[in-house]
Chains A and B, each alone.
Chain A
Amino acid sequence: MKILVCISHVPDTTSKINFTNGDTEFDTNGVQFVINPNDEFGLTRAIWFKEQQGASVTVVNVGGADAEATLRKALAIGADEAIRINANPTDGMFVATELAAVVKAGNYDLVIAGKESLDYNGGMVPGMLAGLLGFNFVNSCIGLDVNGTEAKAVREIDGGKETVSTSLPLVIGGQKGLVEEKDLRIPNMRGIMMARTKALDVKELTTTETASKAVKFEKPAPKSAVKLISADNIDELIDLLHNEAKVI
């Protein structure tokens, strides 16, 4: 099985979000970047397949040179090789088109991407990739087993979960549950040393077509101060929720 894991290079979840250049660009100043958490669950499951069932694992990112540190981390965790498509990713359709070219050139039969990235939250790349490639597709995936070319997947639905059967070639939109939080790996020294010598190919673009563009960013309006209510005056809270907020 040839697995391709798509990696987004995103601000750490504790980051404060600011914008620059007239609120048209994300301010990366002082921001720590990480593997997108939804992608990391998928990467860890891919490495499980490699170790338990025999598979090759390639990681890919569409991004600038600064994303290479994130790809090296993925290699240190256990991926075999990495590809970086040299671009400034601004649009989901554009990213999906680039990734589709990588999948076709490399004959991957299982593609795992996070169901959304924690920066733009577009939630579109895995679905668009499946649509462009004509592969089967399971989104919000919280469990995956592969046996030959047959696959069983569990997906989260509103209020529960659903088990589906499908087959390779397959695109997965992954999230927490593909592996548990405790199964995520921290790169060890041996992994970090080995990652230095693993291949990291930089490829140029196959398209410049986009379907959308970010015009500007805004931060939420500052919140008015909290109304504090005494623990001995619960009636006041109920009155405020009923008459002021009108939510009960």
Chain B
Amino acid sequence: MSILIYAESAEGKFKKVAFELASYAKKVADAMGTSVTAVTINANNTSELGKYGVSKVLQVSNEQLATFNAKAFASVIQQAAEKEGTSLVVLSSTTDSLYLAPLVAVSLKAGYASNVVALPVSTSPFQVKRTAFSNKAFNVTELTTAVKVIGLAKNSYGLNEDAVATSEEAFAPALDSSAFGVKVENVEKVTGKVTIADAEIVVSAGRGMKGPENWGMIEELASVLGAATACSKPVSDIGWRPHSEHVGQTGKPVASNLYIAVGISGAIQHIAGINSSKVKVVINTDPEAPFFKVADYGIVGDAFDVVPKLIEKLKAFKAANA
């Protein structure tokens, strides 16, 4: 009956989102009078999960699962859910979990709600609040099946320590060869740079920068803040910046703690993509730019004047608060 989470890891180490899922699931488990079980795949130190309320860990160690495989990972989660008699599976919104979630739902004949932004509105009937219409609205969805799968939206709950005693158990689900129909040939990952998906802070810039040669100050600002760099759609369309930096409704979604927009007017599609960020700062020469309507803090000014000053002041701030 317990709630099952898939606690994601990379190279054996848990991702922060694993602890966020545990925190969330523990709160829901308390409300439903049950406990949290985590399934892990090739992770070390699984006892760390106990700190965030996980009572039981099903540890899967399997060489075949050394690289991500959506069908095989989904099969592991399905078998763990069946073994535990789980009625609720909680997954994250990493690219990998968004990939496997619908496969898990089908195999458990479960309803699935993605982009869930808060604790359930009600556990019986089971209703959750999720974002819809590309962050322009929320939608309360009721899952009507016996088993339910939900995907917690990025950066929507946070960590909450609630230590419990944890038991660990080796788990060896049977994996059918048909689960391995997609084989990884090559992985290209940016190293030594904060990615938009993981970033707590994102520094984003638009056409107001006048040309790709002026991005040095954006990169420097990001570097001072430990932030990822991003850009608006027109900037990626004209090739000033790579597509992988395009954030917005048809680009990557951003749900960071702080989003700084430099020289971005704030088209409705751009705002939709970044609106889940908690605090938004805009720097723009045009006080009528729509971004000022959605930002928390704004500076009306020229990026070429404001950004260098901001970098200098932040460096001093960081030095004083180090």
Which A residues lie at the B interface, using CB under 8 A? 11, 13-14, 17, 19, 26, 37-38, 91-93, 96, 118-128, 130-132, 134, 136-140, 152-153, 155-167, 173, 176-177, 181-182, 210-220, 223, 226-231, 234-235, 237-238, 240-242, 245, 247-248
A211 and B300 contact, CB distance less than 8 A: no
B301 and A166 contact, CB distance less than 8 A: no
| Given A176-B243, A214-B140; A163-B198 close (CB under 8 Å) | no
| Given A158-B94, A211-B110, A226-B293; A166-B138 close (CB under 8 Å) | no
Distance of B278 from chain A, by nearest CB (Å):
7
Of B101, B140, B272, the contact of A215 (CB 8 Å cutoff): B140
In Å, the complex CA distance between A138 and B114 comes to 18
Assess whether B237 is interfacial by the CB under 8 Å rule: yes
Assess whether B142 is interfacial by the CB under 8 Å rule: yes
Interface of A is mostly: mixed
Assess whether B105 is interfacial by the CB under 8 Å rule: yes
B143 and A131 contact, CB distance less than 8 A: no
Which residue, A152, A167, A181, has most C-beta atoms of chain B within 10 A? A181
In Å, the complex CA distance between A169 and B243 comes to 29
Question: Whose C-beta in chain B lies nearest to the C-beta of A211?
Answer: B111
Interchain Cβ contacts under 8 Å between A and B, 13 examples: A17-B137, A26-B133, A96-B106, A139-B99, A140-B95, A156-B244, A161-B187, A212-B144, A215-B141, A216-B140, A217-B132, A234-B306, A248-B314
Interface of B is mostly: mixed
B114 and A122 contact, CB distance less than 8 A: yes
* Chain B residues whose CB sits within 8 angstroms of the CB of A218 once the complex forms: 129, 137-140
A165 and B114 contact, CB distance less than 8 A: no
- Not counting A137-B71, A212-B141, A245-B296, a sample of 15 additional A-B residue pairs whose C-beta atoms are within 8 angstroms of each other reads A13-B250, A92-B102, A118-B249, A118-B250, A121-B115, A126-B102, A131-B106, A137-B70, A137-B182, A160-B195, A176-B250, A212-B142, A228-B298, A241-B279, A247-B278
Question: Whose C-beta in chain B lies nearest to the C-beta of A221?
Answer: B138
A163 and B95 contact, CB distance less than 8 A: no
* Chain A residues whose CB sits within 8 angstroms of the CB of B298 once the complex forms: 226-229
* Chain A residues whose CB sits within 8 angstroms of the CB of B74 once the complex forms: 131
A-B contacts at CB below 8 angstroms, number: 259
Assess whether B19 is interfacial by the CB under 8 Å rule: no
What per-residue 1/0 map shows which CB atoms of B193-216 lie under 8 Å from chain A? 101011011000000000000000
In Å, the complex CA distance between A245 and B259 comes to 12
B142 and A215 contact, CB distance less than 8 A: yes
Distance of B110 from chain A, by nearest CB (Å):
7
Assess whether B163 is interfacial by the CB under 8 Å rule: no
* Chain A residues whose CB sits within 8 angstroms of the CB of B185 once the complex forms: 152, 163-165
A119 and B113 contact, CB distance less than 8 A: no
B107 and A157 contact, CB distance less than 8 A: no
* Chain A residues whose CB sits within 8 angstroms of the CB of B187 once the complex forms: 157, 160-163
